[in-house]
Structure 1
Amino acid sequence: MSAGTSDILAPEQEPAELARFREQWKAEVRERRAATSGTQTQTVPGASTAAERAIALARSDARTKPTTITNTLSASRGPATHVVAGAPTVTTHTASHGQSHLSPNLAHAIEVYRKAVVHEQHSRLDEALQLYRQAFRLDANVDRAYFIEEQRTQERSTAKPASHRKVPSTVSVDGVTRDVQKLEVHKNSKDKSFVTSGYLAQVLKSFPENPVFEPENEKEGLPINLIPDELLLQILRILDYTTIERFAAVSRKARVLSLDSAIWRDFVHLAYKPPQIADDEPITNIVERYSSDYRRAYIEHPRLRLDGVYIAVCHYMRAGSSENAWVNVTHLITYHRYLRFFPNGQVLSLLANEEWQPQIVIPMLKPNLRMKGFYIGNWSLSGSTVYITNLVEKHLSHTYATTDPQPNRYFFQMTLALHSRPLGRWNKLDFIGYDSVNVEDGEAVPLPLRNERSFWFSKVKSWAGY
């Protein structure tokens, strides 16, 4: 540190304010030593109030002349730029061997700052303060650059062992994928009661081995801890998945209980059966795609919601008539499309104008409804595509006809894309196609979809979901 020795000020050359902070710092150190009966207390940067004040003072003094540190980079390598909010840009160049090349001035400032940290950790506060001040005079953002370099050093040290592992050349891509999936899976080592994968598995690794419900007041007991886990699981199995997830957010113990495979296995077996899946597709194949995680399969695998109705609110503009030639009248027409799906593969479709609001229509949306614009058909799901076929209109004339009604010459079919916003909701349907099919020859004629909008799901509490 020979290049920066001349920058260290003698005590008689220091400003009065800096000297006052020095004395205050010494007083705090003497009080701390007296409180611990002569034992030295080690500190870290930012742990001492006086240290923070002194560093802030040196920092503000240094920033009266702000500088921007840049590097001259070779044309063959691109720069890696790290931007800190509120600070000048610090540009570094990472070479192939992992070392970061800084400008000489910034590298010297970081070295001085590193020595100041060591002095402060050993309670040599006078030397630490002088070195901190010198480092900030060399570069106003040396503290941020120091922490960036320390973080890089730590990342290189942790990544180095993995880089030296030799992978056999005969390993296939599929084999590597399976190995990664196995690493993501976290299982209960005792009873194998649940399987989790992905981000949740990483979270569970930090949980204690035997979590318990903890009261807010440690002096008071918690009666729920007296209930056996087996009984709690039986209670959870009669609840819906939304309530279970809310319960899981209470504590770590609740989260572990909510992951029991028996709970989510019930949901999967109830939800995924024809027409939600193909007749010849076993459920085990679906679950295996998600690393045998039943909860993840239930959340991520597409399924139509049966416990509510999908509603599309559509608009179009219609020109009106006016007695005044200078006035143009335009009407905004609003209408709704409704789709309700049943477990047996039946689907109800209703097209209603703005006179029929959803709060009136939804309680009436049943197979025995008869009104203009009401259709009944069949549905099936393939992947994330919904196919609605044989949509036949059921209106009042069919109910009150004295003779057999005339057969329909046309029926309709829809193709929709199922989406989930957010994950696991499966609450959006987008039109892919809408056709009119001639019953006699089976010719399908596409219908225009200029004014159609997406269907969004609305849950109805009194309707069953399976």
Structure 2
Amino acid sequence: MQGSVSAVAAEDNEELERFRRQWLEEVWSKKKPQGSQDGAAAFTPTSTSAEPATQSPPQSPPAHRTTHRRASHHNEATSPVLGARKVGPASATAQFGPSLQRAVEVYRKAVQHEQKSELDDALRLYRSAFRMDSNVDRAYQLFEEELHRKAAAASPTQKAQQHKKTPSGTAVLEGLLSDMQALDLGPSRIPVAHAYGEGFVTGTLANLISSWPPELTFERDPESEEEGVPIRMLPDEILIIILRRLDHSALERFARVNRKARVITLDASIWRPRVQTIYRPPQIPDEEEFEALVVKYMTDYRRIYIEHPRVRYDGVYIAVCHYIRNGVGENVWVNYSHLITYYRYLRFYPDGQVLSLLANEEHSPSQVIPILKPTLRKKGFFIGTWYLDGTELHIDDLLPKEPTAAETRYSFQMVLDLRSRPVGRWNRLDFRSYESVHIASGEATPLALKNERSFWFSKVRSYV
């Protein structure tokens, strides 16, 4: 396989080289004047010059030469785009038509692909550009020359700055410090100093908090001035200890009280233990991935909890499925159809174990959820393993609790997509594949997903 890939790459390189060589020969032939056999005479400039340029076309162009080299001023004098007279870049771009402008844009993209060593795309775009206009290379050179002229005119002091004396190490350090102090990094990463002075907030919430005053407090309701505010008597340390015992839903409801409550709930000592407990295998590939995760979100643990994919342990994922079955009746002129409803349940554990149950409509979710435990003995009940890879959830080795001889021949596996509706809930699982696996041979057979529906998360307060 590798040999075929290298052969294809070699053929592409040879094709690109042949295209370059053919294109250069056409350019050299166009530059020769009518009735002249001397190749050097083709490069004699029409304008007077102290040292006229004399060049001869190369017999075999070097492999590293690209088709986007800049033309000299002598070549511009005989440009086939603008005629025999010498014209500046400004007037040249003014004469570009719409088709030539499109060709130049395609040519520019080809140059970018070639600089990135993407030769296939570069060759395709070069061909397209020359089909649109045969002189696109000259037009591109003139256009690039004009851009450089404008850039040089916009910064007239650039050359003078290059000849300035290099500042000392102390001056450079002072300049870096002044530049760092001038940076406004507040909205992107704001420290939240509370009881323990730890925690950072990033993103949109940081932009909002940056506009708030530094001193915040719990304020009295203006409509009931006689009532006091007992929560003011609690130190921040005690309030944070109380908030640690709440779940994320209660925390966010408390944060809606006022600004002081919002800032208090951002303390890292509240969110860090939750994140450290949840984001470990099988939620992430390995323990080292957690450190990279913290760096990625700039130590904003609350944002990790909300935005990074996670399978929830505080409830059950339920899929309500339906299908229609044809019935038989005494009256042959009447067609009978039955709507059949069944449920699929998935319950995940932090140790990588998953419970799967297929139940009919005779048993409602309110009856099934309290008994959905590893000790359950019921037809359609399977136990397997799971792991999360990004937003892709893999469930493998689904087998009955006490399989019979026939049931031990096959196991089941699922691949589902983890989604969040709305953001932060991670409450939906979409079927991607469902297969039965022959244990002896390892052969997987896809199962029909026509009647399967997405799983939706349902929080469970207690399984008692």
Question: By the TM > 0.5 criterion, same fold?
Answer: yes
Q: Does 1:437 align with 2:437?
A: yes
The code of the aligned residue for 2:437 comes to V
Q: Does 1:296 align with 2:300?
A: no
Q: Does 1:222 align with 2:229?
A: yes
- Native 8 Å contact 1:321 1:328 kept in 2: yes
Alignment of 1:345-424 (within 5 A): 345-394=352-401, 408-424=408-424
- Native 8 Å contact 1:314 1:335 kept in 2: yes
- Change in Cα spacing, 1:184 to 1:317, as seen in structure 2 (3 Å) is same
Q: Distance in 1 between matches of 2:282 and 2:254?
A: 31
- Change in Cα spacing, 1:387 to 1:442, as seen in structure 2 (3 Å) is same
Alignment of 1:100-249 (within 5 A): 183-188=187-192, 192-216=197-221, 217-218=224-225, 220-249=227-256
- Native 8 Å contact 2:192 2:201 kept in 1: no
Q: Distance in 1 between matches of 2:398 and 2:231?
A: 53
1:339 to 341, 346, 353: 346
Q: Distance in 1 between matches of 2:422 and 2:190?
A: 25
- Change in Cα spacing, 1:337 to 1:180, as seen in structure 2 (3 Å) is farther
- Change in Cα spacing, 1:182 to 1:432, as seen in structure 2 (3 Å) is farther
- Change in Cα spacing, 1:181 to 1:423, as seen in structure 2 (3 Å) is farther
Q: Distance in 2 between matches of 1:266 and 1:421?
A: 25
Q: Match of 1:360, SS?
A: helix
- Change in Cα spacing, 1:211 to 1:181, as seen in structure 2 (3 Å) is closer
> Which residue in 2 is equivalent to 1:456?
456
> Which residue in 2 is equivalent to 1:147?
none
- Native 8 Å contact 2:320 2:341 kept in 1: yes
- Native 8 Å contact 1:307 1:463 kept in 2: no
How many pairs are equivalent? 283
Q: Does 1:327 align with 2:331?
A: no
> Which residue in 1 is equivalent to 2:171?
none
Cα RMSD between the aligned structures?
A: 2.6
Q: Match of 2:270, SS?
A: helix
Q: Match of 1:279, SS?
A: coil
> Which residue in 2 is equivalent to 1:101?
none
Q: Distance in 2 between matches of 1:223 and 1:357?
A: 45
Q: Distance in 1 between matches of 2:432 and 2:379?
A: 24
- Native 8 Å contact 1:420 1:428 kept in 2: yes
Q: Match of 1:283, SS?
A: helix
How far does the alpha carbon of each residue in 1:241-275 deviate from its partner, in whole angstroms, 9 at most, with x for none?
A: 11111111111111110000111111100111111
Q: Distance in 2 between matches of 1:463 and 1:352?
A: 18
- Native 8 Å contact 1:392 1:411 kept in 2: yes
Divergent runs of 4+, >4 A: 179-183, 189-192
- Change in Cα spacing, 1:180 to 1:268, as seen in structure 2 (3 Å) is farther
Q: Report the TM-score, using the length of structure 1 for normalisation.
A: 0.57
Shift in Å, 1:292: 2.0
Q: How much identity, in percent, do the aligned residues show?
A: 54
- Change in Cα spacing, 1:182 to 1:446, as seen in structure 2 (3 Å) is farther
Shift in Å, 1:218: 4.2
How far does the alpha carbon of each residue in 1:49-92 deviate from its partner, in whole angstroms, 9 at most, with x for none?
A: xxxxxxxxxxxxxxxxxxxxxxxxxxxxxxxxxxxxxxxxxxxx
Q: Report the TM-score, using the length of structure 2 for normalisation.
A: 0.58
- Change in Cα spacing, 1:325 to 1:289, as seen in structure 2 (3 Å) is same
The code of the aligned residue for 1:247 comes to F
Unaligned runs of 5+ in 2: 1-153, 159-182
Q: Match of 1:270, SS?
A: helix
- Native 8 Å contact 1:336 1:352 kept in 2: yes
Q: Distance in 1 between matches of 2:225 and 2:414?
A: 60
Shift in Å, 1:358: 0.5
- Native 8 Å contact 1:265 1:294 kept in 2: yes
